[in-house]
Structure 1
Amino acid sequence: MVLGKVRALAVCFDTLNENNLPVFSGGELVSGRVLVDVTGDVRVRSLDVTARGVAKVRWTESRNAGANTAYTQNYTEEVEYLHHRDCLIGEDRDEDGVDEGVTLLHAGLHEFAFSFHLPQMALATSFEGKHGSVRYWVKAELQRPWMLPVKVKKEFIVFEHIDINTPLLLQAPQAGSKEKTLCCWFCASGPISLSAKIARKGYTPGDSIQIFAEVENCSSRVVVPKAALYQTQTFFAKGKGKEIQQLVSNLRGESLAQGKSQSWEGKLLKIPPVSPSILDCPIIRVEYALVVYVDIPGGLNLSLSLPLVIGTIPLHAAASRTSSISSHGSASSWGGVPERPEAPPSYSELAFSEAHRRHCLRGGDECHEHEAAPLLAYISEFRYLPPPLYAEVDPYPDPAEACSVLEARTLDTCPSR
């Protein structure tokens, strides 16, 4: 018998997103097929599928220890998030029994299904950085007697979802203010002041950040207000950290001469497609910050850093209206102090009279007409009703109780016989 050859070995996923990419989240089912294309009869000892997810950090530092000596220090760290293995053909066995339990694959294309669930724990989002990465993959390995194994690896993407609609990210305006005085020896010019504010902390790629800012230049130099979005990657290994900062997006205002000021009333800075924030991985962190600053030629810039979180679940319509209302607040409240809330309605402004309230409490016909209305409308109708009038005597007693009380009072007032 002439043995055939393995023409191709491939891994395919059953579920793809709109961009034909395998994307999953914690707890979801990952399923797919291993394709084996053989030209003739092939003896197969085993076909294994291994799924792994690993966060890995690595960098090297070189140091001089003297005139002619130097040494290199390697920093490595690894965290495993996923390890799953399935045997699609054959079983685990010792190397001695190579001829036991061999499966014969005839010429043609063969498919073998696999599936597994991602852990319910918080997984790190797939990421590729300069000194580290978070990767998830499925590897298929075909073992044949007396021959080298055939291997193939296919990566998939994992997103640890961050919902920016949570109150912690949505209802958290970021604001600050700073002032700086330029001086040279005994000559001091006027101060440069900067105030900046954004409506919330959470955004998603494609959103635009509305920036409210005020810059006043009382110095003798021409300054330029600017804003920039930065991504900071931090890697940890062997108790040491390595930090990389990258510019994501920026914008520029108009130049300010001495005595001039400038206001940004919702100036937009769009967020390009970037990786979401990674906050829970012990060895890799990806963080974002909006830096609003004043570019001072010949001096250190005056800057404000406002931390952001880039999420994966975009803003809902209702939450968008809430954020929009909060962003229209006064641009002068830079210290993050909330605006004065609107006064609640007074009881005199309510449309319900006391007589109508009593009628509803007695169970009038008009009230029963509302029983078929939606629950939300029913609640809204009685939300702002005034409290009942205080009285020691119940104005609406039960008829039976009223009769018993009247008889008791009659016996007490009647003269004794």
Structure 2
Amino acid sequence: MQPPGRVRSLVVELEDGRTWGAYGSGELLHGRVRLELRGALRLRALEVCARGRAIVHWLESRSVGLNIVYYDYTAFQTFLNHHRQLIPDNGEVTVLQAGRHEFPFTFQLPETLATSFEGKHGSVRYWVKAKLHRPWATVKKVKKEFTVIEPIDINTPALLAPQAGAKEKLARAWYCNRGQVSVTAKIDRKGYTPGEVIPIFAEIDNCTNRAVVPKAAIIQTQTFIARGTKKQKKSVVTSIVGDSIAAGKREVWHGRALKIPPVGPSILQCRIIQVEYSLKVCVDIPGTSKLLLELPLVIGTIPLHPFGSRTSSVSSQYSITLDWLSSIPEQPEAPPEYSAVVPSPTAEQSLAPPCRSELGAVLEGPFFAYIQEFRFRPPPLYSEVDPNPPSDGIRPRCMTC
């Protein structure tokens, strides 16, 4: 029989992920199983497995006559299930001497994963478990959990599209018509990341005889699906309250700021758990229900690319070469005659069309940057009076010559 107390510790160690200390789809999961022994140990096998799954579970009670019947709603979805034999079980006993032993392992994560999540009726979890099989002894197990963050790039056309909407409501109280309230709202895009500020452009028109209060909030909706039934949980992530709008007045929000706090990203790749976000602009109307306008949001992990940084770097690159502009005199001199400067053989050669190789060198050089610099400048203003009249010593040029 195996003497007790030979195993001092059995630990699973994982290397940190590439981003935020977490892992993403398609990455390599590197780690090791560290085994410390007080004395020689006889074992049959040592295996390690990497698993990840989503689970949904809740109970619902219903009255059937005098009894209460509970219905169980449970669902599973597996994302990761890999096994590896570090010491294979070949029917023989392996003896490890006292001391510290390390067994490295590597797992390839699938291309499609769901972000780790903990909710009221379900969760998405990932872990690595090591099992030590010994003869005539129970299996010793140790588990190490890790976090997965599925990347969501908001730099896509669908998430960069503006979101807008309009809604109106007729305020009624005790069968009396008190007027109408309308709201129009717009945001510049659909995808955002935590820490960003959402500028809200809205117009609230209060045509009632009472004051109303506009509000805006980010709502998180958790949806759990099991056995064809959905269970939802909504919570307010953050909110702002606007100023009261008097009767018959209109309020305009010119980019009212709403900052996104640190929240988990949207979960869109799971079949049984979904995490969605929305921006709700509502108006509290006394004596009746609220006017609600909802705009969809997606909380991503890859922030918006700074498109303007590349343009500024290109312009700064040529800022030094444009210093010659300051040396141009305000009163330009009249040009000389073309025939007096260029002889006839040279003129005929210059009038020939340039070859393609010469054009390529010009377009790739700094001269092309000068062309781009003056490309979008407006034309000079038209005037009947010549701003630069010719002097007496300069003969005017004839266009027919």
The bucket for the TM-score relative to the shorter chain is: 0.7 to 0.9
- Which secondary structure state, in structure 2, belongs to the residue aligned with residue 168 of structure 1? helix
Residues 366, 88 of structure 1: alpha-carbon distance in 2 compared, 3 angstrom cutoff:
closer
Q: Does 1:272 align with 2:270?
A: no
Residues 378, 54 of structure 1: alpha-carbon distance in 2 compared, 3 angstrom cutoff:
farther
Residues 87, 370 of structure 1: alpha-carbon distance in 2 compared, 3 angstrom cutoff:
same
Post-superposition offset of 1:26: 1.2
Q: Say whether the 8 Å CA contact 1:370–1:378 is kept in structure 2.
A: no
- Which secondary structure state, in structure 1, belongs to the residue aligned with residue 80 of structure 2? strand
Residues 375, 141 of structure 1: alpha-carbon distance in 2 compared, 3 angstrom cutoff:
farther
The match for 1:130 is: 120
Instruction: Work out the CA distance in 1 between the residues paired with 2:32 and 2:179.
Output: 70
- Which secondary structure state, in structure 1, belongs to the residue aligned with residue 269 of structure 2? coil
Q: Deviations over 1:125-170 (max 9, x none)?
A: 1111111111111000111111111111111111221100011101
- Structure 1: gaps of 5 or more residues: 94-99, 323-357, 385-417
Matched to 1:88, the amino acid is L
The match for 2:214 is: 225
Post-superposition offset of 1:297: 2.6
Q: Say whether the 8 Å CA contact 1:223–1:294 is kept in structure 2.
A: yes
Q: Say whether the 8 Å CA contact 1:3–1:40 is kept in structure 2.
A: no
Matched to 1:180, the amino acid is K
Post-superposition offset of 1:290: 0.2
Residues 271, 319 of structure 1: alpha-carbon distance in 2 compared, 3 angstrom cutoff:
farther
Q: Output aligned runs, 1:171-250, within 5 Å.
A: 172-185=161-174, 187-250=176-239
Matched to 2:49, the amino acid is T
TM-score, length basis structure 2: 0.77
- Which secondary structure state, in structure 1, belongs to the residue aligned with residue 244 of structure 2? coil
Q: Does 1:158 align with 2:156?
A: no
Post-superposition offset of 1:319: 7.6
TM-score, length basis structure 1: 0.74
Matched to 1:70, the amino acid is I
The match for 1:370 is: 362
Post-superposition offset of 1:374: 8.4
Q: Does 1:285 align with 2:274?
A: yes
Post-superposition offset of 1:363: 2.6
Matched to 1:253, the amino acid is G
Post-superposition offset of 1:15: 2.6
Post-superposition offset of 1:281: 1.3
Instruction: Work out the CA distance in 1 between the residues paired with 2:52 and 2:356.
Output: 66
Residues 306, 365 of structure 1: alpha-carbon distance in 2 compared, 3 angstrom cutoff:
closer
The match for 1:12 is: 13
- Structure 2: gaps of 5 or more residues: 312-349, 377-401
Query: Among residues 119, 122, 135, which one is paired with 1:145 in the alignment?
Result: 135
Count of residue pairs the alignment pairs up = 337
Instruction: Work out the CA distance in 2 between the residues paired with 1:71 and 1:365.
Output: 86
* Aligned-CA RMSD value: 2.9
What is the percent sequence identity of the aligned residues?
A: 54
- Which secondary structure state, in structure 1, belongs to the residue aligned with residue 180 of structure 2? strand
Instruction: Work out the CA distance in 2 between the residues paired with 1:191 and 1:283.
Output: 41
